[in-house]
Amino acid sequence: MTESRDVCLDSYQPMFRENLLQNQVALISGGGSGIGFRITEVFMRHGCDAIIMGRKEQRLREAAARLSSATGRTCIAAPCDVRQSEMVDSALREALSKLGNRHVNILVNGAAGNFLCAADSLTPKGFRTVLDIDAVGSFILSRCVYDRCFSKNGGGVILNISATLYYKGDVLQAHAGAAKAAVDALTRHLAVEWGDRGVRVNSLSPGPIEDTEGFDKLGGKSPMAQRMLQAIPLARFGTRTDIANAAVFLVSPAASYVSGITMVVDGGAWMTVAVPMSHARKLMPSSKL
Question: Does 115 interact with ligand HXC (rule: CB under 6 A)?
Answer: yes
Q: Rule CB under 6 A: which residues touch ligand NAP?
A: 29-30, 32-36, 53-56, 59, 81-83, 110-113, 133, 137, 161, 163, 206, 208-209, 212-215
Residue 276 burial by Cβ neighbours in a 10 Å radius (0-12, 13-18, 19+): middle
Question: Does 125 interact with ligand HXC (rule: CB under 6 A)?
Answer: yes
Q: Which of 20, 88, 176, 231 binds ligand HXC (CB under 6 A)?
A: 176
Question: Does 67 interact with ligand HXC (rule: CB under 6 A)?
Answer: no
Distance CA 271, CA 9 (A): 31
275: nearest Cα among 221, 214, 239, 232: 232
Nearer to ligand HXC by Cβ, of 48 and 228: the residue is: 228
Nearer to ligand NAP by Cβ, of 61 and 151: the residue is: 61
Nearer to ligand HXC by Cβ, of 94 and 213: the residue is: 213
Distance CA 180, CA 203 (A): 10
- Please state the closest distance from residue 11 (CB atom) to ligand HXC, in A: 27
Question: Does 47 interact with ligand HXC (rule: CB under 6 A)?
Answer: no
Q: Which of 23, 69, 97, 123 binds ligand HXC (CB under 6 A)?
A: 123
Question: Does 5 interact with ligand HXC (rule: CB under 6 A)?
Answer: no
Q: Give exposure, 55-83, as e/b (b: 16+ Cβ within 10 Å).
A: beeebbbbbbebbbebbebbbbbbbbbbb
Distances (CA, A) of 184 to 99, 166, 190, 261, 286: 31, 11, 10, 8, 32
